Amino acid sequence: METFRPMRESANAQAFARISGAEPVVVDVQCAIDVVPGMSPNIILTSGAPMTWERYYGGQRAAVLGAAQYEGLAVDASDAEDKIRTGEIIIAGCHDYGCVGSLAGIYTASMPVFVVDNPVSGNRSFCNLFEGKSPFRLNYGVYNQQVKVNLIHLQNDIAPALGRVIRESGGVALSPIIKRALHMGDELHSRNTAATLLFNQAVFPALMQEARKAEASASVLYEYLSGGDYFFLRLSMAASKAASDSAHGIEGSSMVTAMAFNCHDFSIRVSGMGDEWFSAQLPPVAAKLFP
């Protein structure tokens, strides 16, 4: 073991330099199928390490079945179950596709994703869009008419305008926003107020152009950008994914480059250990959350 130490130390130093030197920039919003390498029309990605279908349960299982219907891969939940069992619909872990998932962490081919480049290391990451303030969301494991309508709204109304505005801005560097926001009370998971405001400020000139060209879409987009302080979370997730992935695959490095959970397991991936996931079952939760 002693003999590995010098190699591990230098490998970890390199991994650390990659993470701390990352400069993630959001460059676009596109449908997953058009930008996520390896994505195909019959794939549904979830948060967490890849897992056999039988082990999915609860909200995440419901979200997968909903996603199959949303994507038009199945007519109902039972049809979706059948097609997953026969392999007609493939379930995979989003991290293996450069994506990072919030809760259920569902991605289907047509869903819009942020495209975040890290030019320092030449890698790219993705995150899907915040579903808004409704308590009914696919990432909460709910799929109903309201969730469907909102996902269509994100895909047809928000994503194209947001993509135009980000491209028109020449991309938006995320590290400067993240650094400032952390000094303004954000922790960038449950508090994203400052980062969302700073992002909005960065894209506002492009949003004014959008307003001149397409009044309605600019107003709808602005409502989305300012409607909840959670907007930036998906960008901080994609930025963190871009930084972490850039440190992955360094021979001899023991750095953990991904921590992820699904409905069943908590899992890690280690820089020098390839694409293998190391998982442990989640402990049972006994809590009275809503008395």
Question: Is 190 near a copy of itself (CB under 8 A)?
Answer: no
Strand, helix or coil at 196?
Answer: helix
Question: Is 168 near a copy of itself (CB under 8 A)?
Answer: no
Q: How far is the CB of 170 from a copy of itself (least distance, A)?
A: 16
The site string for a copy of itself over 223-252 (x = CB under 8 A, - otherwise) reads ---x--------------------------
Q: How far is the CB of 165 from a copy of itself (least distance, A)?
A: 12
* Subset of residues 92 to 151 that bind a copy of itself, contact rule: CB under 8 A: none
Question: What are the distances in angstroms from CA 183 to CA 22, 231, 242?
Answer: 19, 18, 22
Task: Please pick, from the candidates 42, 155, 193, 254, the single residue that binds a copy of itself as defined by CB under 8 A.
Answer: 193
The two tokens of residue 39 are 């994505």
Q: How far is the CB of 167 from a copy of itself (least distance, A)?
A: 18
Residue 202 and residue 166: Cα distance in Å, rounded?
9
Binding residues for a copy of itself, total number by CB under 8 A: 22
Task: Please pick, from the candidates 212, 285, 288, 289, the single residue that binds a copy of itself as defined by CB under 8 A.
Answer: 212
Task: Please pick, from the candidates 109, 159, 194, 235, the single residue that binds a copy of itself as defined by CB under 8 A.
Answer: 194
Task: Please pick, from the candidates 160, 219, 265, 273, the single residue that binds a copy of itself as defined by CB under 8 A.
Answer: 219
* Subset of residues 252 to 291 that bind a copy of itself, contact rule: CB under 8 A: none
Q: Where does 73-112 have alpha helices with state H?
A: 77-86
Question: What are the distances in angstroms from CA 95 to CA 65, 227, 238?
Answer: 20, 28, 11
Residue 157 and residue 159: Cα distance in Å, rounded?
6
The two tokens of residue 253 are 């490095």
Q: How far is the CB of 94 from a copy of itself (least distance, A)?
A: 31
Question: What are the distances in angstroms from CA 82 to CA 60, 90, 139?
Answer: 17, 11, 22
Question: Is 201 near a copy of itself (CB under 8 A)?
Answer: yes
39 within 8 A of 142, measured Cβ to Cβ: no
Question: Is 216 near a copy of itself (CB under 8 A)?
Answer: no
44 within 8 A of 91, measured Cβ to Cβ: yes
Task: Give the position of tokens 């107003």.
Answer: 219
Question: Is 185 near a copy of itself (CB under 8 A)?
Answer: yes
Q: How far is the CB of 171 from a copy of itself (least distance, A)?
A: 18
Residue 78 and residue 64: Cα distance in Å, rounded?
12
Binding part of the chain for a copy of itself, among 31-39, 72-80, 102-110, 199-207 by CB under 8 A, reads 199-207
161 by Cβ neighbours in 10 Å (0-12 / 13-18 / 19+) ranks as buried
CA 40 to chain centre: 17
Task: Give the position of tokens 């049972």.
Answer: 284
Binding part of the chain for a copy of itself, among 14-22, 63-71, 200-208, 241-249 by CB under 8 A, reads 200-208
Cα–Cα nearest to 110, from 192, 44, 53, 174: 44
Q: How far is the CB of 262 from a copy of itself (least distance, A)?
A: 34
Q: How far is the CB of 223 from a copy of itself (least distance, A)?
A: 9
Site residues for a copy of itself per CB under 8 A: 180, 183-185, 193-194, 197-198, 200-201, 204-205, 207-209, 211-212, 215, 218-219, 222, 226
